[in-house]
Structure 1
């Protein structure tokens, strides 16, 4: 794995009528691969989803946050990712130990792991009473096309989404990243065709990263007149804590806690998102019982 840091750049082109996000997520995906012990095909599927989530999180503002669920019919089960406007991302897959033979083009068979039928669900917490929710069908299981379709169907924003993960022979993540190009109103047909051609002729983003290209160079490849407006660091961040897990235990109720004390005299709770284990001894469980009683 290279030592370039994970970051996202945001830019516009064609006098603001195109907006673009280009991202590197190599360290993020590798950290979650290690935490969840994902096998290569599962790593690629999880990494592509995390990469899309990080870019969609960058479209939010302030304290807004979002959750993405990819629920396909493949052996990987569900892919869950959380992201916010601060570049903080976390995620997991239901079945991390999925690895399939390469597909017909010699690549990791992400569609085989995700499935080609199902839905992508997006919930955005925008600080309102109810979260904004959107969904769209999975059309290929490769995820880039599926998120492209999501933007067209659910957010009515013509977009091109490319996401990729390059896994080494030792199963570690060598490169991970992606881009989202979004077309704003006011583009003519020739301009749209030009953008489609540029995006279509782009080699896989991870192979460009592997060759040492910077995010800015990849953006210019697709949109030669692009102007970068800002950038942000991207990193893994879980919101779990012993206090939050304690609240979960409290919500189980008195009889469940009494059972834990009687049977095991302790409880171990593992966070789905980061695989961190939290231990509660007999005394702590008895204190939780007191809280429930009061």
Structure 2
């Protein structure tokens, strides 16, 4: 079975529950970018976060960008999610797509001495987490918070608390296999809705902290439905929506032409004079686009 996002509510509609299995998407990203283990784990967590947050999108043209810009060896990490809807109708969500890249996917660090786990916080470093939500309005919504740990999940939870003023519990995981492929990846996001008692998120966080990691559970055979139902046990969870998701880049020759135009006519003339053509490589999928001298001239 491929990747999917599952969502619903609990606690009489006071709690939104979103979970996603993202193993195939993270594997695809690692394959494209040839990411080292620690970099793959960091990139995979950001990709998973962008998939979970895609529930905020309403239309096919909407985009959500999750950026982590730290001063660690990996540099910046960017993931962009979009949706497809049945007949283009808002609310009829039938697919989620994500793409992403890291500035230095070859970055790697030794396992943490404290627990033997991948040092995602170390490879990310200190910096900022930003969310850009483009819903086709005059200006996109942008929110940014300092990174608390660089472990991504804790940082995203902090973003919801500070920028969105919504208490949330977030957990991500990427399990690297012995052959360096992605064995399991996934995560979940729990959000309090209006009317929820403040103690609810505290109770859920305590329950989550006592559980094995999300990838440990997935690797042991638990489904994301099982995990979410266990977390919300006693609060009558209703997981009513299940949507496929996948890694997919929507780059095109037209978009690359627009990128060339955006650098300005002076820079285009310089490229023409010095290189007599151009090659642009997509950051997200590695696709290369060749532009001849004549094609560049037509852009002036």
TM over 0.5: yes
Counterpart Cα distance in 2 of 1:126 and 1:187: 27
Q: What do the CA deviations read for 1:99-142 (whole angstroms, capped 9, x no partner)?
A: 10001210000011001x21111111122101111111100111
Closer, same or farther: CA 170–185 of 1 in aligned 2, 3 Å = same
Give, in angstroms, the shift of residue 55 of structure 1. 0.5
Name structure 1 gaps, 5 residues minimum.
none
Do structure 1's residue 68 and structure 2's residue 77 form an aligned pair? no
* 1:148-167 alignment, distance < 5 Å: 148-167=157-176
* 1:54-203 alignment, distance < 5 Å: 54-63=51-60, 64-86=62-84, 87-103=96-112, 104-115=114-125, 117-188=126-197, 191-203=200-212
- 1:234 is paired with a residue whose SS is strand
2:240: which partner in 1? 229
1:287: which partner in 2? 295
Question: How well do the aligned residues superpose, as a CA RMSD in angstroms?
Answer: 1.7
Q: Contact (CA 8 Å) 1:250, 1:288: kept in 2 or not?
A: no
Do structure 1's residue 272 and structure 2's residue 267 form an aligned pair? no
Give the TM-score taking structure 2 as reference length: 0.90
Q: Contact (CA 8 Å) 1:119, 1:138: kept in 2 or not?
A: yes
Give, in angstroms, the shift of residue 196 of structure 1. 2.6
Name structure 2 gaps, 5 residues minimum.
85-95
Counterpart Cα distance in 2 of 1:130 and 1:254: 26
Closer, same or farther: CA 192–54 of 1 in aligned 2, 3 Å = closer
- 1:208 is paired with a residue whose SS is helix
- 1:178 is paired with a residue whose SS is strand
Counterpart Cα distance in 2 of 1:36 and 1:16: 40
Counterpart Cα distance in 2 of 1:113 and 1:263: 38
- 2:215 is paired with a residue whose SS is helix
Counterpart Cα distance in 2 of 1:167 and 1:185: 38
Give, in angstroms, the shift of residue 291 of structure 1. 4.0
- 2:137 is paired with a residue whose SS is coil
Give, in angstroms, the shift of residue 192 of structure 1. 4.2
Q: Contact (CA 8 Å) 1:202, 1:221: kept in 2 or not?
A: no
Q: Contact (CA 8 Å) 1:124, 1:131: kept in 2 or not?
A: yes
Q: What do the CA deviations read for 1:21-55 (whole angstroms, capped 9, x no partner)?
A: 01011111111111111100000000001101110
Of the structure 1 ranges 184-193 and 269-278, higher mean CA displacement relative to structure 2 is found in: 184-193
Do structure 1's residue 250 and structure 2's residue 261 form an aligned pair? yes
Q: Contact (CA 8 Å) 2:277, 2:296: kept in 1 or not?
A: no
Counterpart Cα distance in 2 of 1:192 and 1:144: 15
- 2:56 is paired with a residue whose SS is coil
Counterpart Cα distance in 2 of 1:190 and 1:280: 59
2:40: which partner in 1? 43
